[in-house]
Amino acid sequence: MGVKKVLGRRAHCAMQTIRNTKRGIMAKSAKSVTLPRALPRKTTKEIYARLAAADPEPQTELNYTNAYTLLVAVVLSAQATDKGVNKATKDLFAVADNPQAMLDLGEDKVRDYVKTIGLYRTKAKNVILLSERLLACFDGRVPNDRKDLESLAGVGRKTANVVMNVVFGMPTMAVDTHIFRVANRTRMAPGRNPLEVEKGLVKNLPDEYAQHAHHWLILHGRYTCLARKPRCWLCSIADLCAYKDKTPAPDEA
């Protein structure tokens, strides 16, 4: 590879990092709103204890075979269901499970594989761009550093947290719509935005539950603490939850 090409790639990596840094600095904070007090740490610990007892080793529901395929799957999962992503990636990952293979496949073919997923055109483009950057800046490996991960196309804080937790075993809290709802509804960590919720959850997160906490909360929000009609009558933490309008059992309604 020529010197000019190497320098060009490095310059591209540096400029992308600068753009992402500026984007974060320019983000506006939400309007000041008085939030309710969070649950006591003792109560939060009991919530995690009950969720852990019910599911000691929770796993992501996205299918993947290595760090790269998990990264791609999480990028594709934005505003999409895990089930829908798994259906699309089954064939995609069979032919491209690393950055170079994905580039060889090309954006048009990637788009064909993921066209059943929402925003598939943008996502296909991001998959190609992040693959290019992985090869240019990280020797084709998925980095374990948040700043490096967030420098990749289509990767924000939530996606970085998922990869850091699932692949590298870091005790991160990936706040999606489910966790945001559960944290505010139960008052485990009231917040106006995902970052506030993340900080609140991490602040009161017992060390012994840190590794699996975000999976427990995601799964709880996905299958029990539903958005429109939470299944409170089946909830193992209903007596600890601060939500006032609990849903009664169907035969009691």
Q: Report pLDDT digits (tens) over 99-117.
A: 999 999 999 999 999 999 9
26 — pLDDT class (breaks 50, 70, 90): very low
Q: Count, in order, helices (H) and strands (E) of the chain.
A: 12, 0
Element (H, E) at 12: helix 3-26
2 — pLDDT class (breaks 50, 70, 90): low
Q: Which residues are identified as catalytic?
A: 158, 176
pTM: 0.83
Share of the chain above pLDDT 70, in %: 87
6 — pLDDT class (breaks 50, 70, 90): low
Contact predicate 186/170, CB 8 Å: no
Is the pLDDT at 25 greater than 60, yes or no? Answer: no
The rounded distance, in Å, linking the Cα atoms of 87 and 43 is 39
The rounded distance, in Å, linking the Cα atoms of 168 and 215 is 15
Is the pLDDT at 201 greater than 60, yes or no? Answer: yes
**Helices assigned H by DSSP within 66-212:** 67-76, 82-95, 99-105, 107-113, 120-137, 146-149, 157-166, 177-186, 194-203
What integer best gives the mean pLDDT of the chain? Answer: 91
Structure tokens at 223: 């299958």
DSSP, collapsed to helix, strand or coil, labels residue 89 as helix
Contacts (Cβ under 8 Å, ≥6 apart) of 172: 160, 161, 162, 164, 165, 214
The CATH homologous superfamily for domain 67-156 is: Hypothetical protein; domain 2 (1.10.340.30)
pLDDT value of position 13: 74
Residue range 197-224: average pLDDT? Answer: 96
251 — pLDDT class (breaks 50, 70, 90): confident
Residue range 158-162: average pLDDT? Answer: 96
